[in-house]
Copies of this chain bind each other. A is one copy, B any other.
Amino acid sequence: MPQPPRESLTLTPVLHALGDPVRLELVRRARDRPESTCAALADGLNVPASTLTNHWRILREAGLISMTVDGRHRRIRVRADDLGARFPGLLDPILRHAAPAPTADGSR
């Protein structure tokens, strides 16, 4: 899927993309579980599929994630290397303060 090259990453779209509880949680999970599918990462968040699609698009266009097609699945990877090169020291403090979101059934 198309994504901005490293040198085009800009700060405010990254912050905007992370400034939503669902998107922040998706990135937090994706960082902890590389190459997971979109569906697995969204498990328990109780967000409509169309909303999720929009969230993944915003994250991809901001440069936070890359998305690869794997058969019927889409796999997600946080672009930690690209973000670290463009904005050293930015992502880790943000994700450190991102608390795991409670899921609908109370599990994680």
Binding stretch for chain B, among A12-20, A30-38, A40-48, A68-76: A12-20
Interface size in chain A (residues, C-beta < 8 A)? 22
Report the copy number of this chain in the oligomer: 2
Residue of B nearest to A62 (CB): B19
A38 to B17, CA, bound (A): 27
A15 to B99, CA, bound (A): 14
Report A18 CB to chain B, min CB distance, Å: 5
Report A8 CB to chain B, min CB distance, Å: 14
Known: A15-B18, A20-B12. A93 touches B98 (CB 8 A): no
A13 cross-chain contacts in B, Cβ below 8 A:
19
Q: Does any Cβ of B come within 8 Å of A89's Cβ? A: yes
